[in-house]
Structure 1
């Protein structure tokens, strides 16, 4: 059985690679290429979801948490578009903002570090701004560059640690963040260590397939990116670009044991500068106490 499953997976992977190899040529001969190259990557969408749970304190009902992810600045994603995204984030008036990794495509080659830091510093979130590492944030000697940008911009970097966010009467929820699974050193046990029992806990983890490990711990919601929603999706075939650790879970909601996972489609692109049936996304989660 295991051999048959491996054969099936290899065939599926081979088919996807063949399609991806030819998709640029196919699209270039049609108007679809212009749409996938220039129109859809600029079509910023906002998705809204209600997160309801009995452990969310009543004081947090109506609290808005906004997630953005995978900007890949410098790789066909420029400053002007980023400023537009920042303005949209503030227009949505979130209480909490989280960034789930991959800010710069090649951190050590990006020339406008100061401008990016300034733009991020203008994001308003009265209950806090939080960020984690993605694989591109560690890559290209970017570990220190990325941390410097985010901390100077007022983001709390979460690397195998958590914070408690409090509202009235001292009631709180926890936001935990893991190091990147591909190029970092994640430590899930350390990340959730000492979180009080019966605390509603949100985990930020760049790679969505890590939810299999996360679900072994007392956490309730995982927010991830990395997949770009497959970036190019075709009817009857599905996503063509699924990086390692985003092959099982690549877009939207999933349930793994007691854990709810949400995978954000991200803002930029990787590998090829195309998006098709997978527009860039900001996600707003409204928390709600469930009796």
Structure 2
């Protein structure tokens, strides 16, 4: 860490301590974490078949259930997602915060099972899913809930003889991601969505025929201060923290979801939780 970065972090931390006092503390602890933002984005490409025009994809990420995010809150989230009438539902990792201490019960399966999408529900591992001996437990829960795991593999989503590709890699931090294996035998001419928990993996994705990478992991920084921005993001979420990113000499677009829950600290400040709603649009050449 260089001197400038260090001073920035110190100043930011001091401002955070001051700012998170009194009413601001209450807002960051009790109010903003419940202010779900529904972010709408349009994905346009000549590679999207006409039959997929207005196809709706909902992404949610980083619920971190058990760390100041309850089953009741998850149930409300599922209702909100279903209200969007999605064609496809994607979860980009970190279901519970600490799998080894979480009190697993069938209620979680029942609630996640209520999510409905005609073209399926898919998910990938996040670092918290692999951590704490959670790999098998989380996989079983998601499977029982009707979700299909994408772990270094891809599927074709087909509608009336039109296809797009949905791919997913294993977690970067605690798994064994292999994008070459993931896209093996995939048609590079088909519109391709990649699920990758850690957003900084996009620096590798640019070398592959991927149109859009959807990520989470960063929580958008959780606490952001005016003129300073985020104070901290985890490893592999330091180059791309939130929002939309494009890359020179590449057709790749990266979207970083701020996630739903919190971790490490139970605060959100100027960084509301969010879900993404992507609407596909077929373009003519």
Q: TM-score, normalised by structure 1?
A: 0.94
92, 95, 98: which one aligns with 1:103: 95
Corresponding residue for 1:290?
Answer: 283
Corresponding residue for 2:168?
Answer: 177
Shift of 1:271: 1.3
258, 262, 271: which one aligns with 2:264: 271
203, 206, 224: which one aligns with 1:212: 203
Indicate if the aligned counterparts of 2:12 and 2:228 stay in contact, CA closer than 8 A: no
Corresponding residue for 1:4?
Answer: none
Shift of 1:16: 5.0
Q: Are 1:84 and 2:76 matched, yes or no?
A: yes
Instruction: Work out the CA distance in 1 between the residues paired with 2:264 and 2:4.
Output: 20
The superposition leaves residues 106-145 of structure 1 with CA deviations (integer Å, 9 ceiling, x where unpaired) of 0121113321111111100100100000000000000001
Indicate if the aligned counterparts of 2:48 and 2:280 stay in contact, CA closer than 8 A: yes
223, 235, 255: which one aligns with 1:244: 235
69, 74, 80: which one aligns with 2:61: 69
Change beyond 3 A, Cα 1:251–1:159? same
Corresponding residue for 1:3?
Answer: none
Instruction: Work out the CA distance in 2 between the residues paired with 1:267 and 1:247.
Output: 19
Change beyond 3 A, Cα 1:105–1:13? farther
Indicate if the aligned counterparts of 1:162 and 1:191 stay in contact, CA closer than 8 A: yes
Structure 2: tracts of 5 or more residues without a match: none
Shift of 1:30: 2.8
Indicate if the aligned counterparts of 1:113 and 1:149 stay in contact, CA closer than 8 A: no
* Higher helix proportion: 1
Shift of 1:20: 5.8
| Equivalent residues, number | 282
Corresponding residue for 1:193?
Answer: 184
Residue aligned with 1:108, SS: coil
Residue aligned with 1:109, SS: coil
Q: 1:112-191 counterparts in 2 under 5 A?
A: 112-168=104-160, 170-191=161-182
Indicate if the aligned counterparts of 1:108 and 1:145 stay in contact, CA closer than 8 A: no
Instruction: Work out the CA distance in 1 between the residues paired with 2:142 and 2:178.
Output: 21
Structure 1: tracts of 5 or more residues without a match: 1-8
Corresponding residue for 2:273?
Answer: 280
Indicate if the aligned counterparts of 1:160 and 1:187 stay in contact, CA closer than 8 A: yes
Name which of structure 1's ranges 13-22 and 40-49 shifts more when overlaid on structure 2: 13-22
The superposition leaves residues 228-279 of structure 1 with CA deviations (integer Å, 9 ceiling, x where unpaired) of 0111111111111211111110111001222000000000111110001110
Indicate if the aligned counterparts of 1:132 and 1:206 stay in contact, CA closer than 8 A: yes
Corresponding residue for 1:41?
Answer: 33
Instruction: Work out the CA distance in 1 between the residues paired with 2:122 and 2:263.
Output: 23
Change beyond 3 A, Cα 1:12–1:88? farther
Q: Are 1:18 and 2:10 matched, yes or no?
A: yes
